[in-house]
Amino acid sequence: MDTEKKRIAKSPVKPAVKKAAPKKVEAKTPAKKSVNTKKVLDNSKGMILHTIQFQLRYHTVYGQTILVTGNHPLLGNGDLQKAIPLQYQNDDLWAVKIDFGSEGLAHDLQYQYILQNAVGSNSLDAGNDKRILPLHWNCSHLISIDSWNF
């Protein structure tokens, strides 16, 4: 038995076989192109401006009315007799929504507000500098919030 023990004890031990680790393969993806997220105010190929909601912040008293006129037939073409009345919202706000139809607003719009007193006299908003440039807006509905004489 002693001989057997010696044989067992002296039997060569095979070294553990080391398995090779799997090679890491990196998937090659194309480099991402940078995306320009800067918004451009050019609507030459974008949406058509169909409606404008005019809002005027002005404190009125009982009997006064606010109207808007401009260089478009729907706004009376600058004729005070054809000006469009705004609806009273509260003591400091008047508003009206104008729908320019399916063709939308095709050209620059210049407009002006008019304060009509109960006795029939009119006061014009100073200056003719209120302007909407439809090609600068990529939207179909615009809200223009104005202040009197500003």
Least confident of 43-57, 66-80, 84-98, 105-119: 43-57
Least confident of 4-18, 31-45, 126-140: 31-45
The tokens for 149 are: 């004489």
Selected from 3.40.50.720, 2.130.10.10, 2.60.40.10, 3.30.230.30, the CATH number assigned to the domain covering 59-147 reads 2.60.40.10
Pick from 91, 74, 92: nearest CA to 83: 74
Report whether pLDDT(25) > 70. no
Q: Name the average pLDDT for the chain.
A: 78
The confidence score (pLDDT) of residue 38 equals 35
Q: What percent of the chain stands above pLDDT 70?
A: 68
Return the higher-pLDDT residue of 73 and 36.
73
Report whether pLDDT(67) > 90. yes
Neighbouring residues of 131: CB distance < 8 A, sequence distance ≥ 6: 108, 109, 110, 111
The confidence score (pLDDT) of residue 17 equals 54
